[in-house]
Chain A
Amino acid sequence: MFSETQLLKGILEGCVLGILSKEETYGYKIVEVLVSSEFDVNEATVYPILLRLQKQGYLHVERRPSQLGPDRKYYSLTPTGHSYFESFKDTWKIIKNNVDKVLESEKNDTEI
């Protein structure tokens, strides 16, 4: 069966940027949004992505007190993060279009 892992890596990064482009939020909420969109992910998948994006300067982080104990990190996009997200969307459109074309042509060949 086709492994989703490699394909998902870059796409998930884009989706995390997409979620953060709409609102400032924290890790658990990001996981919830992704799971509700039927992505098979958990905190262990999302946290390293957030860490990497933060290190690359795409995310702004603010620590705020949480009822549960340690401060909670709230993430939002930096201006560079917004540009990076726009470039992800453009790239995604091209890839999606190309893949659709290939899959469609395969479908037509089979029908002929």
Chain B
Amino acid sequence: MTQRSKIIQLSSVLLAVCLIASAILLITEGRGDLNSTSISAISVGIILTSALSVINVYLSKIKKKSDELKLNESFFREYEMIRDTVMNSELPKSEKNGIVEDVLEMLLTAQFNGRTIQATVGNTESFAKSILSACTGKPQSLILGFLDGSIGFLLFSLLISLMLWLEDFSKGFFNQNIDISTVVFCVIISFALIPAICQFSLKKNAWAYLIPFVVGFTYIGTVKLLRSYFYEASGVKTFLDGTVVLIPNIAALAVITVVLMGLFIARFNARQLHLNHNA
């Protein structure tokens, strides 16, 4: 296992442990005002999803396929980076698989003929970028990034409302108050963290995969700091304790659904334009 694989697996395990710990805390400490059966069901769901996500990371990113086992360590290290970059790109799935297969065949042939990885690919990052550039014109467009962020944020909003509703049916789906600080965190995740994580596969430094923890703990630390020292400052109290109802009624839900569908269509069209840029 390469250092990169170890870090990716470690990052997935750490995330899962954090989520599982939160779920266990929710079960053991509970909240008097909430239905314990709902809490247990949600917690078990979180624990199962976390465990499955670790297995998914292992199977999709860590476990080598039979042909990949033929690459020696230095060839595999570079292949892994190219593969992850291509798989995280905007290309259609069949094209991604075709390119990854081409690269694997190319590296196996070079290794078989006694060439070094350095002589074969030179700078791996440039090579990965040039492959994407040959297919799309540029690695990622700003419009696509914005559309992805918007879709992510709306899905987060729907998911949070759904989770809160499952915790406590009595309040009703359209009466769920969400903390403003949570909404801000969702905006950071959708528009900054996820796009940044997608770019990490292009970087040699795999420690960048641990950045979600840094962002998470920094955010929690900032919130704690604000609560301890700046609570009375203008706007801080609202940010920390204020709540909003993201989906107040059926009309809002309908609007969100229509916007979401529109964003999906816009994203599909933008992606097609992006892919046809150099075709």
A residues with a Cβ closer than 8 A to B are 26-28, 42-45, 47-49, 51-52, 55-56, 66, 68-73
**Given A43-B121, A56-B279, A70 and B99 contact (CB-CB distance below 8 Å):** no
How many Å from the CB of A69 to the closest CB on chain B? 4
28 A–B contact pairs at CB < 8 A?
A: A26-B109, A27-B102, A27-B106, A42-B121, A42-B122, A43-B106, A43-B107, A43-B120, A44-B130, A45-B122, A47-B102, A47-B106, A48-B127, A48-B131, A48-B134, A51-B99, A51-B135, A55-B134, A55-B135, A68-B70, A69-B67, A69-B70, A69-B108, A70-B67, A70-B104, A70-B105, A71-B105, A72-B105
Which chain B residues border A26 with CB–CB below 8 Å?
Answer: 109
Do B279 and A44 have beta carbons less than 8 Å apart? no
Report if B60 contacts A (CB, 8 A). no
| Residue in A27, A43, A45, A49 whose Cβ sees the most chain B Cβ within 10 Å | A43
Report if B278 contacts A (CB, 8 A). yes
Count of B interface residues, CB-CB < 8 Å: 30
**Given A42-B120, A56-B279, A47 and B131 contact (CB-CB distance below 8 Å):** yes
A72 to B279: give the CA distance in the assembly, Å: 24
A70 to B109: give the CA distance in the assembly, Å: 10
Report if B66 contacts A (CB, 8 A). yes
Do A70 and B112 have beta carbons less than 8 Å apart? no
| Other-chain contact of B109, A49, A56, A68 (Cβ < 8 Å) | A68
Which chain B residues border A73 with CB–CB below 8 Å?
Answer: 102, 105
Report if B119 contacts A (CB, 8 A). yes
A69 to B134: give the CA distance in the assembly, Å: 25
How many Å from the CB of A33 to the closest CB on chain B? 14
**Given A52-B278, A69-B66, A73-B102, A44 and B108 contact (CB-CB distance below 8 Å):** no
Main secondary structure of the interface of B (DSSP, over half): helix
How many Å from the CB of B130 to the closest CB on chain A? 4
A52 to B134: give the CA distance in the assembly, Å: 5
Which chain B residues border A47 with CB–CB below 8 Å?
Answer: 102-103, 106, 127, 131
Given A27-B109, A43-B121, A45-B122, 8 other A-B contacts at CB below 8 A?
A44-B121, A44-B126, A48-B130, A49-B134, A55-B135, A66-B105, A72-B105, A72-B109
Report if B110 contacts A (CB, 8 A). yes
Do B110 and A69 have beta carbons less than 8 Å apart? no
How many Å from the CB of A62 to the closest CB on chain B? 13
Which chain B residues border A71 with CB–CB below 8 Å?
Answer: 101, 105
| Other-chain contact of A28, B67, B113, B135 (Cβ < 8 Å) | B113
Do A68 and B105 have beta carbons less than 8 Å apart? yes
Report if B133 contacts A (CB, 8 A). yes
How many Å from the CB of B250 to the closest CB on chain A? 47
Which chain A residues border B122 with CB–CB below 8 Å?
Answer: 42, 44-45
The residue of chain A having its C-beta at the shortest distance from the C-beta of B113 within the complex is A28
Do A51 and B121 have beta carbons less than 8 Å apart? no
Q: Using an 8 Å CB-CB cutoff, how does the interface string of B22-58 with A read, 1 for contact, 0 for none?
A: 0000000000000000000000000000000000000
